[in-house]
């Protein structure tokens, strides 16, 4: 399930392209066209355009804007390290320039992208720099034309840093400054998100619903609002409502008809999307949540459907891949689709990301799967591993019983007797006690250990006087005694 961006050509693009082609364009025209490309997801075109623009005479501020634009395009193309180089150039170039709101904005936005660095020190430094720049704009340029958006981006930084009270305060100020329905919807969404993470779920729900009202007029932020509602309902344990909200979030996501096969992502941090980087990641996260919720309801068919959708967009080894494989395996197991369950569990273990408890649970499921598939040697290995991972299973009658069956298939009868005897000696709870006594007696009979055979047979007859199983062994013992008497004669 991949949703490529549809390329819709803005009429302004053609005019600017013609102007640039004629050689009459100034750097400002390149910048304007680049932003149109960026908004349309045409990152390669925007990158090439700005590289060309850097060869045209430009001011230092314009060069800073161009480096910033290149950095954004490279980042959206997944060329992260190259992007960071360009963004640092923009920051360095604008560092000593007399600060205006516009210059501070470009510096702050460049820092904002650098907060995505895997280098924690670099990310923390960038976050601090972005917060300082956005705060300067708010304090020194309160009438800046994009002041509401500046508040929203500052809120995002506090939100990502876990400073939720600060984030909430800023988002409330943004709401007061909002002049359009889109700004109002976004501010309400931010307030709701902050309240949700502060675990004020009732007020979060109120603000999400208010945000829906504002967003319905512009058709923006609807998916993100429903997604937030889904998380809120899920946190409150309202699973049916959470599922409905997440499904609405998917439905309201920009799903464009496949065109050129690109897998392009939601652009630009300055648009302040409440989504993980990229539309595909966002959709994947919702699909995974739906899988979890349907698993809780016991609708494993739908949990498999949504986990599979999530995995369609996750590369092997990527964050979330292991968890999705594990969850998918559990759902397949519940559906008794054992071959697919085995494959999912084996893929999960192969990631090397399984926690001890998950390894234990996966091993337990695999042992049962091998049992169902009659792969007895693998079943034996799995049950032995399970007991090594958690000796508490020595008190689980069903595990010991299944292990004894695996030993019998491997013709390891003495070990089978050992495990079955643990169940009887420990008086472990089981509905198979009659059968277990029979098996122990029968195994001793096969070893020609008549005394031990008689011991468990008498116990079987005492506890289950009408058992046909005891009659069977008693008959075998009589035949053997007669044969032994004949030999003596």
Provide the residue ranges of all domains of the chain, joining segments of one domain with +: 1-145, 164-255+264-275, 277-354, 356-424, 431-489
Q: Would you say 341 and 332 are in contact if contact means Cβ atoms under 8 Å apart?
A: yes
Q: Would you say 327 and 295 are in contact if contact means Cβ atoms under 8 Å apart?
A: yes
Asked if the model's pLDDT at residue 265 lies above 50, the reply is: no
Average pLDDT over residues 59-68: 93
Tokens of 100: 């205006």
Per-residue confidence (pLDDT) for residue 1, from 0 to 100? 24
Per-residue confidence (pLDDT) for residue 486, from 0 to 100? 56
Asked if the model's pLDDT at residue 263 lies above 80, the reply is: no
Sign of CA dihedral 226, 227, 231, 234: positive
CATH class of 1-145: mainly alpha
Per-residue confidence (pLDDT) for residue 268, from 0 to 100? 29
Per-residue confidence (pLDDT) for residue 257, from 0 to 100? 35
Q: pLDDT (tens digit, 9 = 90+) per residue, 108-132? A: 999 999 998 989 999 999 999 999 9
370 CB contacts (<8 Å, ≥6 apart)? 342, 376, 378, 379, 382
- Can you tell me which residue has the tokens 């070893």? 447
Q: Would you say 91 and 128 are in contact if contact means Cβ atoms under 8 Å apart?
A: no
Which of 159, 242, 243, 251 has the alpha carbon at shortest distance from 201? Answer: 242
Asked if the model's pLDDT at residue 261 lies above 60, the reply is: no
The per-residue DSSP string of 171-238 comes to HHHHHHH--SHHHHHHHHHHHHHHHHHTT-HHHHHHHHHHHHHHHHHHT-SHHHHHHHHHHHHHHTT-
207 CB contacts (<8 Å, ≥6 apart)? 188, 189, 191, 192, 195
Which of 82, 60, 4, 65 has the alpha carbon at shortest distance from 29? Answer: 65
User: Measured between alpha carbons, how far is residue 327 from residues 205, 349, 367 in Å?
Assistant: 28, 12, 17
55 CB contacts (<8 Å, ≥6 apart)? none
Asked if the model's pLDDT at residue 275 lies above 70, the reply is: no
Fold adopted by 277-354: 1.25.40
Q: Would you say 113 and 75 are in contact if contact means Cβ atoms under 8 Å apart?
A: yes
Q: pLDDT (tens digit, 9 = 90+) per residue, 404-459? A: 999 999 999 999 999 999 999 999 999 999 999 999 999 999 999 999 999 999 99
**Same topology for domains 164-255+264-275 and 277-354, yes or no?**
yes
Instruction: Pick the range with the lowest mean pLDDT from 3-17, 141-155, 197-211, 440-454.
Output: 3-17
User: Measured between alpha carbons, how far is residue 139 from residues 103, 142, 259, 480 in Å?
Assistant: 15, 6, 46, 101
SS3 of residue 41 by DSSP: coil
Asked if the model's pLDDT at residue 269 lies above 60, the reply is: no
Per-residue confidence (pLDDT) for residue 487, from 0 to 100? 56
Q: How confident is the model at residue 280 (pLDDT cuts 50, 70, 90)?
A: confident
Q: Would you say 221 and 257 are in contact if contact means Cβ atoms under 8 Å apart?
A: no
403 CB contacts (<8 Å, ≥6 apart)? 380, 383, 384, 387, 419
Integer Cα distance of 230 and 243 in angstroms: 7
275: left (phi over 0), alpha (psi -120 to 50) or beta: beta
Which of 364, 325, 361, 331 has the alpha carbon at shortest distance from 345? Answer: 325
Cα atoms in the Cβ-side hemisphere of radius 13 Å centred on 447: 18
Per-residue confidence (pLDDT) for residue 247, from 0 to 100? 97
Q: Would you say 249 and 227 are in contact if contact means Cβ atoms under 8 Å apart?
A: yes
Integer Cα distance of 465 and 23 in angstroms: 104
411 CB contacts (<8 Å, ≥6 apart)? none
Per-residue confidence (pLDDT) for residue 214, from 0 to 100? 94
228 CB contacts (<8 Å, ≥6 apart)? 189, 192, 193, 196, 204, 208, 274
User: Measured between alpha carbons, how far is residue 332 from residues 294, 313, 327, 328, 362 in Å?
Assistant: 13, 19, 9, 6, 13
Residue 113 CA to chain centroid, in angstroms? 23
List b or e across 398-411, with b for residues whose CB sees 16 or more CB atoms inside 10 angstroms: ebbbbbbbbbbeee
Superfamily of 164-255+264-275 according to CATH: Tetratricopeptide repeat domain (1.25.40.10)
Fold adopted by 356-424: 1.25.40
Instruction: Pick the range with the lowest mean pLDDT from 13-22, 79-88, 449-458, 459-468.
Output: 13-22
Neighbour tally for 32: CB within 10 Å? 16
Per-residue confidence (pLDDT) for residue 258, from 0 to 100? 36
Asked if the model's pLDDT at residue 40 lies above 60, the reply is: yes
Asked if the model's pLDDT at residue 96 lies above 90, the reply is: no
């Amino acid at each position: 399930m991949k949703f490529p961006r549809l390329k819709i050509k803005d009429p302004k693009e053609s005019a600017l392209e013609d102007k640039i082609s004629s050689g009459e364009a100034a750097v400002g025209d390149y910048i304007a066209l680049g932003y149109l490309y960026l908004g349309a997801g045409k990152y390669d075109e925007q990158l090439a355009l700005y590289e060309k623009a850097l060869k045209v005479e430009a001011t230092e501020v314009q060069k800073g804007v161009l480096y910033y634009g290149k950095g954004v395009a490279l980042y959206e193309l997944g060329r992260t390290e190259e992007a960071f180089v360009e963004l640092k150039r923009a920051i360095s170039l604008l560092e000593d320039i007399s600060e205006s709101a516009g210059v501070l904005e470009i510096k702050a936005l460049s820092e904002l992208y650098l907060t995505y660095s895997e280098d924690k020190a670099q990310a923390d430094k960038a976050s601090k720099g972005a917060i300082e720049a956005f705060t300067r704009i708010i304090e020194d340029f309160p009438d800046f034309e994009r002041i509401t958006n500046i508040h929203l981006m500052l809120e995002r930084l506090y939100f990502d840093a876990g400073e939720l009270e600060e984030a909430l305060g800023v988002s409330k100020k943004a709401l007061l400054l909002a002049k359009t329905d889109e700004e109002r919807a976004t501010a309400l969404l931010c307030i709701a998100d902050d309240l949700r993470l502060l675990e004020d779920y009732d007020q979060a729900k109120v603000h999400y619903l208010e945000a829906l009202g504002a967003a319905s007029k512009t058709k923006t932020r609807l998916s993100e609002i429903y997604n937030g509602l889904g998380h809120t309902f899920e946190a409150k344990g309202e699973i049916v409502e959470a599922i409905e909200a997440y499904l609405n979030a998917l439905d309201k996501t920009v799903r464009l008809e496949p065109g050129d096969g690109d897998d392009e992502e939601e652009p630009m941090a300055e648009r302040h999307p409440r989504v993980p980087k990229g539309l595909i990641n966002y959709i994947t996260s919702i699909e995974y949540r739906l899988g979890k919720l349907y698993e809780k309801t016991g609708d494993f068919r739908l949990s498999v459907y949504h986990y599979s959708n999530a995995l369609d967009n996750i590369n092997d080894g990527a964050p979330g891949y292991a968890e999705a494989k594990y969850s998918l395996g559990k759902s397949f197991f519940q559906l008794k689709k054992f071959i697919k369950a085995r494959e999912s569990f084996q893929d999960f273990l192969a990631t090397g990301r399984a926690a001890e408890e998950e390894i234990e649970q996966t091993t337990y499921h695999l042992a049962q799967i091998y049992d169902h598939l009659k792969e007895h040697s693998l079943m034996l290995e799995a049950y032995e591993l399970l007991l090594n991972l958690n000796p508490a299973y020595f008190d689980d009658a069903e595990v010991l019983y299944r292990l004894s069956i695996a030993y019998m298939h491997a013709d390891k009868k003495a070990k089978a007797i050992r495990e079955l005897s643990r169940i009887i000696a420990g008086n472990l709870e089981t509905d198979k006690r009659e059968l277990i006594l029979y098996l122990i007696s029968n195994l001793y009979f096969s070893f020609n250990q008549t005394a031990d055979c008689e011991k468990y047979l008498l116990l079987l007859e005492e506890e289950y006087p009408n058992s046909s199983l005891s009659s069977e062994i008693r008959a075998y013992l009589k035949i053997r005694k007669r044969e032994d008497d004949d030999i003596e004669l």
